[in-house]
């Protein structure tokens, strides 16, 4: 049976990401009581005494609340980035060790995707290479609510900062955002880069595949294949559950061609359809929304990388005809496929 | 407005007989109105424009009008069918008081946020919501507003923007704690402030990049001054709080003359400094 976590699963050791958030809040002069408000994590005395934080497991919802509190108290739009750049490789046990040993961008992205539950428990990175472009698509690991943009910025900043450090230079990422352009892009430009694309219907980072296998300068000094294998094995042995929404996303991407029904998806998780429905509702979503998201992502990919027209995409996704696909696409994105293709034309080449 | 109010009373009311006038009331209410007006004048005269000034001065003006209406009430007998005059009397003063109180609360917030030396950190108007928490200089929102203001003030004079980028900052982030990183940024902000002219404005654009707005300055001069600022930053000897280790700070800059497209110009400046560290190992087959 597939073990999956959701926002109510005790998963994140308090000494991992939550401890970093607390440390950051402390450095900014915020009281621990303020940022812990409503998180249900009360061991403030232990934190104050600066002793090791007791390793209780927190739920993603608690970690999210901690972030929301810190953001609310500090205000501004910088926190996501300053916090993000400290998150990777992090000190999260074997997964962090494995990441630190990675000799190239490709291995880094593979490890990040593989150990996402440990390294990025709120947002799932999906790594994929297509037509000369490497992509990291970020999707929700659990319901993020109003903090979604914050978490997206934070995880993107984390990956960018780690690659900058390990590669010894800024990598020329292109960033796609599933949102309209903000009025002020200063933080995004400085912390991520100036190649920003808005209104893309997907949160993703793109880079030319030539960067994937460049040996990183540190690798010569620190990369010891035996140590690297050992830490990767250790990370695998943790057997962490994977995110329910992330796993559902991957399942639906694989089966996007045949319009998978809720019942089949539930079977894949060994859950009854009713239970899957209930668990999705807990995360503030529902099966149709998840399926629509996957199908819009697949359609965008086909149009962008393969240059498919409406007929070809409709056929690929199992639509009766192009008109039906066109209607669905309009519902998902608010734009007709042709308008969207025009927008894509203006964006390219992105890498 | 006070005049308009008087005319309104004249139009719809009739004079009370002199004998019925309560001189003490007239002096009290008239005096309060006059003083409230004077206070509003003082607030506007002594503070830069912005949210706090607007609430304080606006509130005091409304209090003045309310009291003036009260005062006129002592002199005129109102036509009882006109309800609006009664309404003016009883509503204006409390509304004004509330506005002043709100202004005071905002003012208190502002005072907490502001430090003493503000001359190169704010120009033309004050809005404390735009102060950067770490360095206590203005942020990018304020910068964008100021570029627009500067352009409106004098569309013909050149106004330069210098972007100063601390490009080794990512290493400092890896090696030191958050508090030390914040201290580095604060120290750099101070060093930049000390080396600016009085008419220049320093802003923290975001992260490890600062932007200096230089009014009435051409491109060549701003390049010279930008290079000077970078060398001043690099010449600093910054020491960590914990072990007194010296931290090397590297700076470089890009500059341009501001136009009406402030945000896209700033994006171009950021792209320009990114170009400076164009990949040292561009993959040979990279096709861009």
Q: Which residues of B touch A74 (CB under 8 A)?
A: 133
Distance CA A95, CA A296 (A): 32
Closest alpha carbon to B269 in B279, B284, B259: B259
Asked if B66 and B21 count as a contact pair (C-beta separation under 8 A), the reply is no
DSSP track, B258-273: --S-HHHHHHHHHHHH
According to DSSP, residue B167 is labeled T
Asked if A232 and A118 count as a contact pair (C-beta separation under 8 A), the reply is no
Burial class (CB in 10 A: 0-12, 13-18, 19+), A288: exposed
Kindly state the average pLDDT of the residues A321-332: 91
Beta-carbon contacts of B87 under 8 Å, excluding residues fewer than 6 positions away, are none
Backbone angles phi, psi at A134, to 5 degrees: -95, 135
- Which pLDDT tens digit goes with each residue over A24-45? 999 888 888 888 888 887 765 5
**Is residue B208 within 8 angstroms of chain A, CB to CB?**
yes
Q: What's the confidence (pLDDT) of residue B120?
A: 57
Distance CA B119, CA A13 (A): 48
Residue of B206, B211, B242, B262 to mutate, interface with A, max A Cβ within 10 Å? B206
- Residue B195: C-alpha distances to residues B135, B222, B230, B231 (Å): 16, 13, 10, 11
Q: Which residues pair with B212 in a beta bridge?
A: B162, B202
CB within 8 Å: A28 and B266: no
Task: Indicate the pLDDT class of residue A101, thresholds 50, 70 and 90.
Answer: confident
Quick check: A291 pLDDT over 90?
yes
Q: What's the confidence (pLDDT) of residue A351?
A: 47
Helix (H, G, I), strand (E, B) or coil at B135: coil
ipTM of the shown complex: 0.88
> Considering CB atoms only, which of B133, B144, B205 is closest to A190?
B205
Q: What's the confidence (pLDDT) of residue A7?
A: 92
> Considering CB atoms only, which of A169, A184, A194 is closest to B277?
A169
- Which pLDDT tens digit goes with each residue over A135-172? 999 999 999 999 999 999 999 999 999 999 999 889 99
Closest alpha carbon to A134 in A172, A100, A169: A172
Distance CA A8, CA A243 (A): 11
Kindly state the average pLDDT of the residues A108-112: 96
**Would you write out chain B's pLDDT as a tens digit for each of its 288 residues?**
667 767 766 666 777 777 777 888 888 888 989 999 999 999 988 888 888 999 999 999 999 988 888 888 777 776 655 566 677 778 888 999 999 999 999 988 887 776 545 655 665 455 655 778 888 888 899 899 888 888 888 888 888 999 999 988 999 999 999 999 999 999 999 999 999 998 899 999 999 999 999 999 999 999 999 999 999 999 999 999 888 889 999 999 999 998 778 888 899 999 999 888 765 554 443 333
Closest alpha carbon to B202 in B217, B185, B189: B189
Q: What is the mean pLDDT of chain A?
A: 88
Q: What's the confidence (pLDDT) of residue B105?
A: 92
Higher pLDDT: B288 or A80? It is: A80
Contacts 24+ apart (CB under 8 A), A256-261: A256/A294, A256/A295, A256/A298, A256/A317, A257/A316, A257/A317, A257/A318, A258/A318, A259/A291, A259/A317, A259/A318, A260/A291
Closest alpha carbon to B211 in B107, B119, B140, B284: B140
Q: What's the confidence (pLDDT) of residue A46?
A: 52
Q: Where are the beta strands (DSSP E) in chain B?
A: 13-15, 76-78, 159-165, 201-206, 209-215, 238-239, 246-247, 252-257
Kindly state the average pLDDT of the residues A248-267: 91
CB within 8 Å: B277 and A184: no
SS (H, E, C) chain A: CCCEECCCCCCEECCCHHHHHHHHHHHCCCCHHHHHCCCCCCCHHHHHCCCCCCCCEECHHHHHHHHHHHHHHHCCCCHHHHHHCCCCCCCCCHHHHHHHHCCCHHHHHHHHHHCHHHHCCCEEEEEEEECCEEEEEEEECCCCHHHHHHHHHHHHHHHHHHHHHHHCCCCCCEEECCCCCCCCCHHHHHHCCCCEECCCCCCEEEEEHHHCCCCCHHHHHHCCHHHHHHHHHHHHCCCCCEEHHHHHHHHHHHCHHHCCCHHHHHHHCCCCHHHHHHHHHHCCCCHHHHHHHHHHHHHHHHHHHCCCCHHHHHHHCCCCCHHHHHHHHHHHHCCCHHHHHHHHHHHCCCC
Q: What is the dihedral of CA A329, A330, A335, A340, to 10 degrees?
A: 20
- Which pLDDT tens digit goes with each residue over A234-243? 888 888 899 9
Q: A21: distance to nearest CA of chain B, Å?
A: 11
Q: Which residues of A touch B286 (CB under 8 A)?
A: 208, 210
Quick check: A47 pLDDT over 60?
no
Distance CA B76, CA B86 (A): 12
Q: In what order do the strands lie in the sheet with A123-130?
A: A123-130, A133-140, A204-208, A174-176, A196-197
According to DSSP, residue B123 is labeled -
Distance CA A36, CA A33 (A): 5
Closest alpha carbon to B123 in B147, B106, B102, B103: B147
Q: Verify cis geometry, omega within 30 degrees of 0, for the bond prior to A130.
A: no
Nearest residue on chain B to A196, alpha-carbon basis: B267
Higher pLDDT: A331 or A347? It is: A331
Distance CA A69, CA A35 (A): 5
CB within 8 Å: A170 and B205: no
Q: What's the confidence (pLDDT) of residue A2?
A: 66
Bridging pattern class, strands A242-243 and A4-5: parallel
Nearest residue on chain A to B131, alpha-carbon basis: A76
Which residues on chain A place their C-beta less than 8 Å from a C-beta of chain B?
A: 23-24, 27-28, 74-76, 78, 81-82, 85-86, 161, 164-165, 168-172, 184-187, 189-191, 193-194, 208, 210-211, 214, 349, 351
Asked if A317 and A298 count as a contact pair (C-beta separation under 8 A), the reply is yes
Bridging pattern class, strands B201-206 and A174-176: unpaired
Q: What's the confidence (pLDDT) of residue B287?
A: 34
Task: Indicate the pLDDT class of residue A208, thresholds 50, 70 and 90.
Answer: very high
- Residue B92: C-alpha distances to residues B22, B41, B42, B43, B88 (Å): 22, 19, 21, 20, 6
User: pTM above the 0.80 mark?
Assistant: no
* Count of Cβ atoms closer than 10 Å to residue B27 Cβ: 12
């Amino acid at each position: 049976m597939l073990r999956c976590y959701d926002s109510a699963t005790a998963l994140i050791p308090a000494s991992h990401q939550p401890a970093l958030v607390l440390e950051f809040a402390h450095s900014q002069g915020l009281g621990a009581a303020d940022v812990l408000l409503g998180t249900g994590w009360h061991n403030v005395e232990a934190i104050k005494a600066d002793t090791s934080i007791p390793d209780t497991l927190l739920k993603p919802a608690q970690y999210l609340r901690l972030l929301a509190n810190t953001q609310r108290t500090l205000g501004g739009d910088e926190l996501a980035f300053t916090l993000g750049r400290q998150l990777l490789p992090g000190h999260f046990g074997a997964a962090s060790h494995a990441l630190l040993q990675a000799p190239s961008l490709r291995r880094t992205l593979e490890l990040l995707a593989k150990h996402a539950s440990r390294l990025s428990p709120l947002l799932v990175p999906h790594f994929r290479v297509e037509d000369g472009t490497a992509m990291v698509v970020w999707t929700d690991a659990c319901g993020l609510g109003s903090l979604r943009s914050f978490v997206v910025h934070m995880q993107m900043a984390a990956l960018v900062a780690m690659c900058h450090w390990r590669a010894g230079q800024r990598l020329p990422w292109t960033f796609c955002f599933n949102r309209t352009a903000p009025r002020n892009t200063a933080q995004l430009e400085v912390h991520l880069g100036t190649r920003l694309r808005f209104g893309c219907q997907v949160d993703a980072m793109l880079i030319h595949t030539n960067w994937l296998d460049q040996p990183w300068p540190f690798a010569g000094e620190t990369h010891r294949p035996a140590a690297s294998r050992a830490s990767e094995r250790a990370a695998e042995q943790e057997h962490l559950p994977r995110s329910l929404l992330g796993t559902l996303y991957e399942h639906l991407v694989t089966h996007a061609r045949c319009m998978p029904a809720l019942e089949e998806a539930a079977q894949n998780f060994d859950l009854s359809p009713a239970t899957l429905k209930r668990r999705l509702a807990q995360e503030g979503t529902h099966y149709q929304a998840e399926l629509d998201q996957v199908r819009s992502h697949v359609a965008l990919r086909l149009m962008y990388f393969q240059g498919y027209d409406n007929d070809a995409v409709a056929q690929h996704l199992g639509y009766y005809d192009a008109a039906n696909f066109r209607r669905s696409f309009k519902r998902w994105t608010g734009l007709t496929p042709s308008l969207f293709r025009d927008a894509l034309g203006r964006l390219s080449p992105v890498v | 407005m006070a005049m308009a109010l008087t005319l309104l009373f004249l139009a719809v009311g009739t004079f009370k007989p002199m004998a019925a006038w309560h001189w003490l009331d007239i002096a009290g209410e008239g005096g309060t109105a006059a003083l409230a007006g004077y206070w509003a004048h003082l607030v506007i005269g002594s503070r830069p424009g912005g949210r706090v000034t607007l609430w304080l001065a606006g509130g005091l003006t409304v209090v003045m009008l309310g009291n003036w209406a009260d005062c006129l009430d002592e002199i005129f007998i109102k036509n009882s069918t006109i309800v609006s005059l009664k309404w003016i009397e009883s509503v204006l003063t409390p509304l004004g008081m509330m506005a002043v109180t709100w202004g005071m609360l905002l003012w208190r917030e502002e005072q907490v946020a502001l430090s003493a030396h503000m001359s190169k950190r704010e120009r033309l108007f004050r809005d404390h919501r735009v102060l950067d928490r770490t360095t206590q200089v203005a942020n990018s929102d304020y910068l964008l507003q100021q570029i627009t203001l500067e352009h409106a003030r004098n569309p013909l004079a050149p106004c330069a923007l210098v972007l100063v980028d601390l490009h080794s900052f990512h290493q400092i982030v890896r090696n030191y704690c958050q508090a030390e990183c914040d201290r580095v940024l604060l120290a750099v902000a101070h060093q930049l402030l000390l080396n600016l002219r009085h008419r220049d404005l320093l802003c923290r654009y975001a992260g490890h990049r600062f932007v200096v707005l230089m009014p009435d300055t051409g491109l060549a001069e701003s390049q010279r001054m930008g290079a000077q600022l970078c060398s001043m930053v690099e010449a600093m000897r910054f020491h960590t709080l914990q072990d007194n280790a010296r931290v090397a700070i590297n700076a470089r800059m890009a500059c341009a003359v501001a136009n009406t497209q402030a945000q896209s110009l700033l994006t171009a400046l950021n792209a320009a400094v990114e170009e400076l560290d164009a990949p040292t190992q561009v993959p040979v087959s990279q096709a861009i």
